[in-house]
Amino acid sequence: MQDREYNQFVKRVLISVVNVLMAVTKLSEGCGSYIKIPGGGSHSISSGTNYSPYSHCLWWIETDSGYRLDMEIDLETDINYQRCGDYVIIRNSNSLSDIILDRNCSVNLTDHVVSAAASWMRVQFYSDGIQTTNGFQGIITSVYVGSSISNISNPIQACRSYEMECSNKVCMTLSYRCDGFNDCGCDHDCDESGCDGLPIGKYTIMIIGGMVGFGLFLFFFIFAYCYESYLRKKALMNDPEAQAELQRKKKEKQRREAYKKTAKEKRGRR
């Protein structure tokens, strides 16, 4: 009895430490990662109590061959507008049918233990944007089972050429990069990392936009003026009457220049 109470105390301390660390480092949103637990070891994961609305956390947990993963779960659920709010899904692999724990929306889980059938465990936490609960906490333990472990091939595979590998070992299609949704389910080196663009303020953007707009206006103004002059010249070259009038004006100009030259010479002789 005393050993059980001591284990419960240690568990609560570990969860509290995880929550404090996540609050300090502000890992309250994505919070997923890849975790390798050595045989016989343990590890704690948590969404934190101040996670953001519409959070998506995905952990891939792996242990040594011949060991199985057990997880003790604490989860406060909620139902909003007759639909599931915050919930956890746990699988052995990427297969939708390989379920260890399906979404639980109506019953809070306290000290609830689930066991994987192999040396891997895929844990996903989802939250809605309506209400925040105490979130999800889990303590994963690696338990030796020897040859009795299920013969399941490693579900963590190398990504294809059109995919990116997130820090939690999730392969995500490159078209999902920087689309505004946390598809990978993690915070760092994931599909939404480095998507902030240039570090410039809105007023700088307005000034740049104004300069670009003025430059485009000036370009089209000059282009329109030159193009209109070209059309006029082309029309003049193709009009015989306009050509005759142009020749008449040219001769008249030459005559006037000759008259001015003659008059200037006469004044010079006097």
Q: Which residues contact 115 (CB under 8 A, 6 or more apart)?
A: 68, 69, 70, 71, 100, 143
pTM above 0.75, yes or no: no
pLDDT in tens, 198-237: 566 667 878 888 899 999 999 999 999 998 888 887 777 7
- Asked if CATH classification 4.10.400 holds for the domain at 158-197, the reply, yes or no, is yes
CA atoms within 13 A on the CB side of 223: 6
The CATH number of 2-156 is 2.60.120.290
Banded pLDDT at 28 (limits 50, 70, 90): very low
Mean pLDDT of 245-257: 82
- 257: pLDDT confidence band, cut at 50, 70 and 90? confident
What is the mean predicted confidence (pLDDT) over 87-96?
85
Q: What is the mean pLDDT of the chain?
A: 80
- Give pLDDT tens digits for 59-75: 999 999 899 999 999 88
How do the domains of the chain map onto residue ranges? Answer: 2-156, 158-197, 202-269
Of the listed ranges 30-39, 118-127, 258-267, the one predicted with least confidence: 258-267
Position with higher pLDDT, 33 vs 194? 33
pLDDT of residue 200: 67
